[in-house]
Amino acid sequence: MVNEIFFGVYRFSNRLWTKNLAPEQKVYGEKLETIDGTEYRQWNPYKSKLAAAIQKGLKESPFQSGTNVLYLGSAEGTTVSHLSDIVGEKGSIIGIDLSARVMPKFLKLCEYRSNIVPILADANKPEFYSNDLKAISFQVLYQDVSQPNQAEIFLKNSRFLEANGKGLLVIKAASIDSSAPASRIVNRQTKELKPSFNIIQTVSLEPFEKGHAIIYCQKKD
């Protein structure tokens, strides 16, 4: 039985799935399965931190049909591709990444998923791409970057998020301080967010990702 646990996110065979917006196309070698004429893509929590958060008990999802997402640290597009499935053709994902190495694969993904827009830029310097985003109202800010100032980068980019918009900040503790316990790092980053965001939930991503957590939050008015 196919159960829709969040909008556009399904569970069956004890796995997570999204409806494939680009039928017959795989992104990272994931399994495809067709049920009642609908093709689904398996969403691997060992390859997507958002899938890991869902598996670990994320209690709600901010993604709906038509949601506009600013995604910092899009890499090759594994998680972005599943968000593309979820928000559909009425939504969009603006994927920002600094690495020229991963961009060719990400650009290929964008060729057959028209709701993804790539930007080669440094998320730490939003002033360099702010003009590209000024016409877009973002309902969700998602960040997964391996930098020592993760909360600071998130806050810099929150200017693009509409009032009461939702945020998902992936914390990679070792990139901030490899000598401190991950829980302490997460608490420290959470404290930085609190003046500007209400914290909804913090989810540890272990055992899928060691030393990682996701902070789910909402921008204050």
Q: Which two tokens stand for residue 79?
A: 């998680």
Share of the chain above pLDDT 70, in %: 100
Stated pTM of the model: 0.96
Pair 185, 178: CB distance under 8 Å: no
Q: Given strand 38-43, what is the order of strands in its sheet?
A: 3-6, 9-12, 15-19, 38-43, 32-35
**Statement: residue 97 has pLDDT above 90:** yes
Q: In the CATH hierarchy, which top-level class contains the domain 45-219? A: alpha beta
Q: Is 31 strand, coil or helix?
A: coil
pLDDT in tens, 26-70: 999 999 999 999 999 999 999 999 999 999 999 999 999 999 999
Sign of the alpha-carbon torsion through 84, 24, 17, 50: negative
CA angle 55, 58, 64 (to 5 degrees): 105
pLDDT in tens, 145-199: 999 999 999 999 999 999 999 999 999 988 888 888 888 999 999 999 999 999 9
Residues in the chain: 221
Q: How confident is the model at residue 86 (pLDDT cuts 50, 70, 90)?
A: very high
pLDDT in tens, 101-139: 999 999 999 999 999 999 999 999 999 999 999 999 999
